[in-house]
Amino acid sequence: MEKQVIIITGAARGIGREIVKELAKQGHIIICNYNKSQKQAGELKKELEKQGKNIEIFQADVSKQEQCKRLVQFTLEKYKRIDGLINNAGIDKIQQIEDVTKKDWEEIINTNLYGAFCMCQEVTPNMIHNKKGWIINISSIWGQVGAAMEVVYSISKAGMDGMTKALAKELGPSGIRINSISPGIIDTDMNSELTQNELKKIEEEILLGKIGKAEDISKCVKWLIEDKYTTGQIISINGGWVIT
């Protein structure tokens, strides 16, 4: 299989980390972005290099346009092309609408939506030039159906899915595929504040009877990269928790 140069944002922990491992296993060249998790990023690099895999780690806060630019410039200077981008970095805050401050709004929207937009803006000129490439946006089921107490997060992920559809239309003729993977609930730090009781209740609502694992998402990413005829789609991976 052809080795691809792939940027994954927010990938030292959680779902992103699992995607890095899966794609490195396939022999791809991985640019693993992290923001605060420098130690985990360093450990991941060490672990994968020991196995002979190709991985770079690069610190950047994707909520800042200039830092997205640096991440892409680093990749292009070193590898001369970008085959794929996975917008995975994301944050959430559980709060009622009346408690949402301008700062909360800016942090969530700038990280989840503006950051993903900036990354797309930075990588697409190279992809258009090469007449090939793909982007996967890790959105959320809440972008499709909305979550109480997570209005800003839901807005950010709905925006991301809108971006997926718009860019698929704009860039399909240039040979670029863009899709969203929309997870339900996945066992990562993001859900660490849920109590055992809350998790049990959610499991009872899921048709397949269990919380998802990061590898449920990384397996879908692997399939989507190999596939050549899917674009503009929102692919829900949620154990049948929500059927849209």
Would you please indicate which residues are annotated as catalytic (active-site) residues?
153
Single out the residue of 16, 133, 159, 239 in contact with ligand NAP (rule: CB under 6 A).
16
Single out the residue of 191, 203, 215, 235 in contact with ligand NAP (rule: CB under 6 A).
191
Asked if 63 interacts with ligand NAP (CB under 6 A), we say yes
Q: Give the nearest distance from C-beta 186 to ligand NAP in angstroms.
A: 4
Q: Give the integer Cα–Cα distance in Å for 16 and 87.
A: 9
From 164, 119, 123, select the one nearest 140 (Cα to Cα): 164
Asked if 100 interacts with ligand NAP (CB under 6 A), we say no
Which regions of 5-116 does DSSP assign to beta strands (E)?
5-8, 29-34, 54-59, 84-87
Q: Give the integer Cα–Cα distance in Å for 171 and 7.
A: 19
Q: What is the residue whose two structure tokens read 């792939």? A: 6
Stretch that binds ligand NAP, among 8-16, 98-106, 161-169, 218-226 (CB under 6 A): 8-16
Rg (CA), the chain: 17
Q: Give the nearest distance from C-beta 225 to ligand NAP in angstroms.
A: 17
Q: Would you state the structure tokens that stand for residue 238, as one six-digit string? A: 């949620």
Count of chain residues binding ligand NAP (CB under 6 A): 29
Binding site for ligand NAP (CB under 6 A): 9-10, 12-16, 33-37, 61-63, 88-91, 111, 138, 140, 183, 185-186, 188-191
